[in-house]
Amino acid sequence: DGGITQSPKYLFRKEGQNVTLSCEQNLNHDAMYWYRQDPGQGLRLIYYSQIVNDFQKGDIAEGYSVSREKKESFPLTVTSAQKNPTAFYLCASTRRDGLEETQYFGPGTRLLVL
């Protein structure tokens, strides 16, 4: 996991409720990412941020929101507009070494709907 922490490990959401997943990194990485993982679907990009106070939509951003107020933090909010939120959510950050980038993942948060 290398310095990327996600909390909580499990999260339960009630119908119509917004929930926020935490992602923190102490690696001094500039870029951070949120992925959703469903069985047999691989990893799909939700949002990403290359720099503080800036972020871009990924392939499945609808029903999600993010903020990047600090370099080390990139929280993800799953809103009530996300109708099928049950999934494993993975946060990642990227180390840049010149033109080369390497992406590392956190341990994940499993979100379940009650």
Separation of alpha carbons 94 and 106, rounded Å: 11
Quick check: 100 binds another protein (CB under 8 A)?
yes
Closer CB to another protein, 15 or 100, in the complex:
100
Buried-state track 61-76, b at ≥16 Cβ within 10 A, e below 16:
beebbbebeebbebbb
Which of 3, 13, 22, 45 is close enough to bind another protein by CB under 8 A? 45
Question: Torsion angle of alpha carbons 26, 72, 106, 67, nearest 10°?
Answer: 180
Q: CB of 43: closest distance to another protein in angstroms?
A: 4
Quick check: 8 binds another protein (CB under 8 A)?
no
Which of 7, 27, 57, 101 is close enough to bind another protein by CB under 8 A? 101
